[in-house]
Amino acid sequence: MQELITHISQRGNTLCLGLDLDPERIPAAFQGHENPLAALACAIVDATHDVVAAYKPNTAFFEQEGSRGWAGLEALCRHIDNRAFLIVDAKRGDIGNTSARYARALFQGLGAHAITLAPYMGRDSVEPFLPKTRERNGAGLAPGMGAYVLALTSNAGAQDFQMLDIGGKPLYWRVLESLDAWNKDWADHRLGAVVGATRPTDLEAIRRAFPALPLLIPGVGAQGGDLESVRRALDLGHGPALVNVSRDILYGPDAVAEPEAVRARALAYAARMECA
């Protein structure tokens, strides 16, 4: 994930801005646009691209509007281009043949640098997303793509499966061990893990055990994750890590996603995430 490392270095911080915009909370100034959600998202990118290292649009917030929403997502991804690292948060995962089509839609169609995946179906559902050559699976995908795989998430329901004891280790730890092995075996260190900020003790243990593993850490802000605890954990490893903040930056106390207000909140967070 060299491109990610470059963006982190250029910004001097590890901030990822989650573009989870609510269509029902679009400022009046954008209501007259043909695609208000996309127009607002692009304006936020214009206001913050020099501040944040990465953007993470969640496809659900666009897909809910059908074809207009998907067109808006395409426009947003083109607008971001290479100005920041682009993670398309789609949480895909299916049998190999289907995964290859998802990969084409997200990487080739949207231009994502990385995506999020669900690992429940195992290696053969993950591998098609990261082909080693353009010819593999006929997907036409470059070998530099990356993926963040769900491991230990921030939500309460993580207890249902992720914490299950599997031979003396929780299931999420088995996922992390697999990612580490796959990175060395076939993924060329392009796989990272999603680990929630709401579990700081577990995050520290993960960072110690897998210091090189790239991490995407959601849950800071509205979900209750503590940024200082996350920063302490990140100091224990050297793999590239992103701390995702969505609602706290998008809406803040005024509950309105005005681009300049979003920029001010992003600057405040970025200052707290400055790299040593």
- The yes-or-no verdict on residue 135 having pLDDT over 60 is no
Residue 20 sits at φ, ψ, to 5 deg, of -100, 70
Count of the separate structural domains present in the chain? 1
- The yes-or-no verdict on residue 275 having pLDDT over 90 is no
Q: Are 54 and 84 in contact (CB under 8 A)?
A: yes
Decide if 56 is catalytic.
no
Lowest mean pLDDT among 131-135, 148-152, 244-248: 131-135
Given the residues 91, 132, 169, 184, select the one marked as catalytic.
91
Per-residue confidence (pLDDT) for residue 222, from 0 to 100? 72
Confidence of residue 141 (pLDDT cuts 50, 70, 90): low
For 55-111, what is each residue's pLDDT tens digit? Answer: 999 999 999 999 999 999 999 999 999 999 999 999 999 998 999 999 999 999 999
**32-38 average pLDDT score:** 94
Q: How far apart are CA 2 and CA 9, in angstroms?
A: 11
**205-223 average pLDDT score:** 92
Output the domain CATH number for residue 212.
Answer: 3.20.20.70
Per-residue confidence (pLDDT) for residue 143, from 0 to 100? 62
Per-residue confidence (pLDDT) for residue 68, from 0 to 100? 94
Cβ contacts of residue 244 below 8 Å, gap of 6+? 16, 17, 18, 56, 216, 217, 218, 219, 220
Residue 224 sits at φ, ψ, to 5 deg, of 100, 0
For 191-211, what is each residue's pLDDT tens digit? Answer: 999 999 999 999 999 999 999
- The yes-or-no verdict on residue 263 having pLDDT over 60 is yes
Domain that holds residue 202: 2-272
Per-residue confidence (pLDDT) for residue 210, from 0 to 100? 98
Per-residue confidence (pLDDT) for residue 70, from 0 to 100? 96
Q: Are 140 and 130 in contact (CB under 8 A)?
A: no
For 17-30, what is each residue's pLDDT tens digit? Answer: 999 999 999 999 99
Quote the Cα angle for 264-199-91, to 5°: 75
Helix axes 259-272, 227-234, angle to 10 degrees: 50
